[in-house]
Amino acid sequence: MYVKSIERVGVTSFPAHYSGPTLGDVGEHRAIEAIVSAAPSNRNGDDAAVLSHASPNSRAVATTDMLIEGRHFRVDWSTPEEIGRKSIVQNFADIEAMGARPIAALLAVSAPPHTPVSYLRGIAEGIHAKVGEYSAELVGGDLTSGNDLVLSVTAIGSLGGSRPELTLDRARPGQRVVAHGRIGWSGAGLALLERFGRDVPEHLRPLIDAHCAPTLTPGRGVVARATGATAMTDNSDGLIVDLTTIARRSGVGIDLHSADIMPPPIVWEAAELLDADPWEWVLTGGEDHTLLATTAGDPPSGFHVIGRVIRGESVTIDGQPPKYGHGWVSF
C-alpha cells in the first residue's frame, strides 16, 4: 500500500503576505468571530445548530473527514481559500455518494498560536464559497490550539424520497459502472507539486488546481439515486482501491474498460514532463472525488460508462489484473 503524505519539516511557516495579528494575539473568541464573519449563518453562534427537515420523509446523512497540514495539504502550495474549498468537497462528496443533498457543515480547527487570523479567515471564506454552491451553510464548529494546522469537517445531508441510499453492497452482475468527474488529475497535480511547486507551465495548472481544490458538480449524487443507481462511492483513495471496496462489499467483480478511463492529453503531458506513467495516477491517485456508481440502466445525467459489474471478486481492466493496485491510504 502507498501511504500518501506531503512531506513537511519543522514548524508550520505561513506565507509572509498573511500578516497582522495571530490567533495567539487575539484569542479564541475573536478568532471565532473572524470565521463567523467570513462564513455567516443565522444558525451559527449558539451552543448547537438546529436544522430543519427538508421534507417530512427525509433522513439525515452525516460524515466527517480531517485535513492535516503535511499530509493533505501544504501552506506553501495551497491558498487558505483552496484548503477551505477542498475540505468541503472532500466531505460533501461522501454525502453525494449516498445519493443525498448536503445541507450543512461543521468545522473544527486545531491551529498553532502563530497562525495569522487572516489565514484562518481565508479558510473560512473558501468554505463559505463552496457550501454556497450547494445552498448549504457552515453552522458551527470549534477552535483550539495545537502544534499543527488540522481541519475536521462534519457534513450533514438530507436523503429524501423512498428510494434506498446508495450503499456499497448493492452492485449486481450485469450492471454498468459509471463515473462523474475527473480521474487521475489530482494524482498528476500532486506529482507536479512535489517536483516544481506551483511553478508549472500554464497549460498544466488545471492539474495543480485539481489537487489543491478539487471540484464536484453539486447534485450529481441526487440525480444518480433518482435515476436508478444502486451502489456509489467517491474516488478519494484511488480508482482501484475504491472500486475494490464496492466489489468486496457486494460480492461481485468489476471489469473496467481501458478505453473509457484513458488518461486525457493534459495528464499525458504531465507524465512526459515528469517521466512518469500516467496510468499510475489514473488507477491509484486519490482525492479526485469522482463519483463512482453502478446502475442497471443508462448512465445518469453527467455520468459516463467506464466498465461493468461481473461475477467474481476483484477489479480487472479488460479482463486482466490492473498494472497498479495500491492507493492513497493513511497507514
DSSP assignment string, 238-297: -HHHHHHHHHHHHT-EEEE-GGGSPPPHHHHHHHHHHT--HHHHHHH------EEEEESS
- Local structure of residue 116 (DSSP, 8 states): B
The 8-class DSSP code of residue 323 comes to: S
Contact yes or no for 77/193 (Cβ under 8 A): yes
Cβ atoms within 10 A of the Cβ of 164, count?
A: 12
d(CA 87, CA 180): 19
* Side chain identity, residue 181: G
**Spatial distance between the Cα atoms of 269 and 207, rounded to a whole number of angstroms:** 11
Q: Point out the least confidently predicted range of 8-17, 76-85, 197-206, 226-235.
A: 8-17
Report phi then psi at 11, rounded to 5: -75, 145
Q: Using an 8 Å Cβ cutoff, are 137 and 45 in contact?
A: no
Tell me what pLDDT residue 329 has. 81
**Beta bridge mates, 309:** 254
Whether the CB-CB separation of 199 and 262 falls below 8 Å is answered with: no
Mean pLDDT, the chain, integer: 94
What residues contact residue 202 under an 8 Å CB cut-off, 6+ apart?
none
222-228 average pLDDT score: 97
pLDDT at 2: 44
- Identify the pLDDT of residue 4: 57
CA distances from residue 299 to 97, 222, 303 in whole angstroms, order as listed? 15, 13, 6
Quote the DSSP letter at residue 219: T
Per-residue confidence at 162, pLDDT binned at 50, 70, 90?
A: confident
Over residues 41-45, the mean pLDDT reads 88
What one-character DSSP code corresponds to residue 320? B
Residue 273 has pLDDT above 80, yes or no: yes
Q: CATH says 2-159 is which class?
A: alpha beta
pLDDT digits (tens, 9 = 90+) for 71-96: 999 999 999 999 999 999 999 999 99
In the chain, ranges of CATH 3.30.1330.10 domains:
2-159
CATH 3.90.650.10 residue ranges in the chain? 176-329
Q: At residue 268, what is the residue type?
A: W
DSSP H or E stretch at residue 194: helix 185-196
Cβ count near 18 (within 10 Å): 18
Per residue in 243-265, pLDDT (tens digit) is 999 999 999 999 999 999 999 99
Place of cell 497535480: 189
Q: How would you classify the pairing of strands 137-145 and 176-180?
A: unpaired
Question: What mean pLDDT do residues 39-66 have?
Answer: 88
Q: What is the dihedral of CA 192, 265, 4, 316, to 10 degrees?
A: -160
- CATH code 3.40.50.720 for 176-329: no
